[in-house]
Amino acid sequence: MLYLWVKAFHIVSIVCWFAGLFYLPRLFVYHAQSQDAVSQERFSLMERKLYKGIMLPAMIATLVFGIWLISLNPSVFSQGGWMHAKLTLVVILIGYHHMCGAQVKRFARGENTRSHVFYRWFNEVPVLILLAIVILVVVKPF
């Protein structure tokens, strides 16, 4: 029963983390398009609060519950390579998360050099990673 509770909280954490990973780059799109100081300050505040108040705690919770799940069922590593591929994607996602954090700081300092078009494409990265992770976990292709 403990395993199912931990799994449920892991899934909730993932949903919260991805909500931020989807929304923050969208804020970057709007921030990159903004021209006036009031809008830029507002976007910087929204980005910082989203990153530090939602995304960071959700990422930490996702990792804690994920590690807990693995500790409760270590045999998952011998069930195929899907888990290794999934964990590789999680590491890439953590890197993406930190890239977002660095960008939040750049925007706050007024040092953004990228266009809204870049952020529109940047926004698609977590979608592709989520798609791959869900397929790996559900289908377990290898």
Binding residues for heme: 10, 86
Phi/psi region, residue 37 (left: phi>0; alpha: psi -120 to 50; beta: rest), is alpha
Known binding site: residues?
Answer: 10, 86
DSSP assignments along 43-94, one per residue? HHHHHHHHIIIIIHHHHHHHHHHHHHHHHH-GGGGGS-THHHHHHHHHHHHH
Residue with tokens 């705690």, as numbered in its chain? 57
Contact 103, 112 (CB under 8 A): yes
SS in 3 state form for 77-90?
HHCCCHHHHHHHHH
Residues composing the chain? 142
